[in-house]
Amino acid sequence: MPDPQDSNKTGGTPGFDSLIEDLFGLNVRGLKTVGQLFISPKKVFESARVPDWRRKYTPTIRLTFSIITVFMLLSFFWAAEDGMMYQALFAQFTEIAAASLDPVSPEQIRRDIRTAFAAYSFFYPFIYMLLHGLVGSALFIWGKGTGWVTRLRLYFGLLTVGMTVALISTLITPFLRPDMLVAFTFFGMAISVLAYWLTYARGMWGSASALGVLIRATCLALLITLVDIIVSGTAGIGAGIWVGVTNA
């Protein structure tokens, strides 16, 4: 009969790294991958062309989804009742209700906003992964002979950077006023575009002429940002429909 402690002897006991992976799908290797995408994306891009990532990095598709999960779990930062986004939506919903023939109570507005946030958080990850997966597999900007799986790996490497920027941004939102929402949204978008641009340019530097890499980086950064907007808008429409269905 095998010794029940054999696994502990061979693999060690689960530690904090295991707990983080259990909770969020992230571990030390995943965090290292995120760090390298900011510090030295070229190393990650080169490893993405190897089946096992040279056993150094976490697959970027898994990593992107894990960061989205953390982003949604931290919704109390960006969806809290005293937060910038909630207050802005509450004011907007109140104006709409005031113009409506049917009176809507403030408590009903709060319920609708909570429902909308919950629906948005549900729809967003699936729409994000689907649309970006389709776009990423159709882009041929990673060098001649790059297969579709590798294209997805590289593309999601850029998305990992963008989602990390978004995650950091959510930690700032509780400290902003509702009237700062628009400015903060455009500022965050600009930072994301810059992050996409820098990651591609640095990761693919030397694969083509300098001008060619920079042009591709610019087009790709703008394309990803456009898809991000479409994802968010589609999730928002889905959330609106869900609120309407629940109030029917």
3-state secondary structure the chain: CCCCCHHHHHHCCCCHHHHHHHHHCCCHHHHHHHHHHHHCHHHHHHHHCCCCHHHCCCCHHHHHHHHHHHHHHCHHHHCCCCCHHHHHHHHHHHHHHHHCCCCCCHHHHHHHHHHHHHHHHHHHHHHHHHHHHHHHHHCCCCCCCCCHHHHHHHHHHHHHHHHHHHHHHHCCHHHCCHHHHHHHHHHHHHHHHHHHHHHHHHHCCCCCCHHHHHHHHHHHHHHHHHHHHHHHHHHHHHHHHHHHHHHC
Q: What pLDDT is recorded for position 14?
A: 61
Q: What is the pLDDT of residue 96?
A: 75
- Report pLDDT for 55: 86
What radius of gyration do the chain's Cα atoms show? 21
Confidence of residue 95 (pLDDT cuts 50, 70, 90): confident
Which of residues 107 and 192 earns the better pLDDT score? 192
Burial classification of residue 129, based on how many CB atoms lie within 10 Å of its CB (0-12 exposed, 13-18 middle, 19 or more buried) = middle
Listed residue (51, 203, 234, 218) closest to 129, CA to CA: 234
pLDDT at res. 9: 43
d(CA 145, CA 154): 14
pLDDT in tens, 15-53: 655 555 555 556 778 889 999 999 999 999 999 999 889
Can you tell me the mean pLDDT for 201-230?
Answer: 95
What's the pLDDT score for residue 18? 58
- Is residue 81 within 8 A of residue 107, CB to CB? The reply is no
pLDDT tens per residue across span 218-229? 999 999 999 999
Amino acid 107: pLDDT: 84
Retrieve residue 179's tokens.
């009237």
How much is the mean pLDDT over the chain?
A: 84
**Higher pLDDT among residues 97 and 9, named by residue:** 97
pLDDT tens column, 109-134: 888 888 888 899 899 999 999 999 99
C-alpha distances out from residue 110 to 82, 116, 118, 137, 243, Å: 12, 10, 12, 40, 12
> One-letter amino acid identity for 31?
L
Q: Is the pLDDT confidence value at 136 over 90?
A: yes
- Residue 8: is its pLDDT beyond 50? no
pLDDT at position 207, please? 86
3 state DSSP class of 181:
helix
Average pLDDT of span 40-68: 91
In this prediction, residue 222 carries a pLDDT of: 97
Is 205 a residue whose pLDDT tops 50? yes
Does the reported pTM lie above 0.85?
A: no
Torsion-angle region of 55 (φ positive above 0: left; ψ -120 to 50: alpha; else: beta): left
Say which residue, 106 or 163, is predicted with more confidence.
Answer: 163
* pLDDT score of 101: 67
- State pLDDT tens for residues 153-193: 999 999 999 999 988 888 787 777 777 778 888 998 999 99
